[in-house]
């Protein structure tokens, strides 16, 4: 999230229970619904006179009114992030919503934690879009997930191997510092880990970092998570910034497998990323 609270406007289409929708939204010092309006006209009037970081559009099923609102906001308020909160059967609505200007869609019912995660991811992705890349060729992909068991590691490892098999130069980082299992998935022995790198003396450069990367049969170079959970605290955000900078100077792709939640290390990775998935 930004350093200040996220200001959100909630626009509720006819047929949707506003109170039910609000129960699905985060409610704390980092997130504030500044107004609840009914329909497109009220939302557009509100946005002409006031500012919001995020527009929630709550609708049921296929809604032409919601599509008109999305299109109008994309043209008149392009700086506003837009998330659709859908209920019922979409019936082709999702594709049309993205075409009209929605940045993301969450289907209700959903928990406040799930919506918070999607808002985090949306804002991080938009921030990454606005951040100039270090190199026009090198990409850093941050693989996120709200909890364990959602397939982050499977996605990160398969993506890395597929890219390497296409002839790309790929580095894979296991950022689940307490319970990472990238090494297990790839069949790599954890001989040297990111903990060992953090504990090693002297300045960090490309040659030193290379000595701590394990090599998979596909060619993927991997920085393995610590062997024990209690070693996680030795790895800080500053080290990761150095690692990412060095790797992006030498690799076509840097893939980061993250733990559940938003630790300082995950936020650093998001800030450094060119792509968030």
- Given a cut of 50, whether residue 43 has pLDDT beyond it is yes
With DSSP H G I counted as helix, E B as strand and the rest as coil, what are the percentages for the chain, rounded to 5? 40, 20, 35
Q: What is the mean pLDDT of residues 48-62?
A: 93
Read off the pTM: 0.56
Kindly report, residue by residue over 83-97, the tens digit of the pLDDT: 999 987 666 788 888
CA distance 170 to 179: 22
Domain boundaries, the chain: 6-129, 131-276
Q: Which CATH number applies to 131-276: 1.10.10.10, 3.30.428.10, 3.40.50.300, 3.40.50.1000?
A: 3.40.50.300
Q: Which of 173, 160, 181, 171 is nearest to 227 (CA)?
A: 181
The answer to whether the beta carbons of residues 123 and 2 sit under 8 Å apart is yes
CA distance 52 to 263: 26
Kindly report, residue by residue over 130-167, the tens digit of the pLDDT: 444 455 578 999 999 877 778 899 999 999 999 999 99
Residue 202 in tokens: 């002297």
Say what the pLDDT of residue 128 is.
Answer: 54
The CATH T-level fold of domain 6-129 is Rossmann fold (3.40.50)
Q: Is the peptide bond before 109 cis (omega within 30 degrees of 0)?
A: yes
Kindly report, residue by residue over 92-129, the tens digit of the pLDDT: 788 888 889 998 889 898 999 889 888 887 887 666 55
């Amino acid at each position: 999230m930004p350093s200040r609270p996220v200001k959100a406007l909630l626009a509720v289409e006819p047929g949707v229970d506003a109170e039910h929708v609000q129960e699905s939204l985060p409610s704390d010092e980092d997130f504030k619904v500044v107004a609840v309006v009914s329909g497109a006209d009220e939302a557009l009037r509100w946005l002409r006179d006031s500012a919001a970081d995020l527009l929630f559009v709550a609708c049921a099923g296929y809604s032409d009114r919601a599509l008109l609102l999305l299109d109008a906001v994309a043209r008149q308020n392009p700086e506003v992030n837009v998330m659709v909160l859908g209920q019922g059967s979409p019936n082709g609505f999702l594709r049309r919503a993205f075409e009209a200007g929605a940045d993301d869609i969450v289907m209700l019912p959903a928990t406040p934690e799930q919506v918070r995660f999607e808002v985090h991811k949306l804002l991080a992705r938009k921030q990454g879009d606005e951040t100039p890349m270090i190199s026009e060729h090198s990409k850093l992909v941050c693989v996120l997930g709200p909890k364990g068991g959602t397939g982050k590691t499977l996605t990160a490892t398969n993506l890395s191997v597929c890219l390497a098999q296409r002839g790309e130069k790929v580095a894979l980082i296991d950022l689940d510092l307490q319970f990472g299992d990238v090494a297990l998935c790839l069949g790599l022995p954890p001989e040297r880990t990111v903990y060992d790198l953090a504990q090693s003396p002297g300045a960090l450069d490309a040659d030193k970092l290379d000595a701590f990367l394990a090599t998979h049969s596909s060619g993927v170079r991997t920085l393995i998570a610590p062997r024990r959970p209690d070693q996680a605290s030795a790895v800080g955000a500053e080290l990761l910034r150095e690692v990412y900078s060095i790797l992006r100077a030498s690799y076509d792709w840097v893939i980061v497998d993250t733990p559940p939640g938003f630790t300082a290390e995950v936020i650093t990775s998001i800030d450094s990323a060119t792509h968030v998935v």
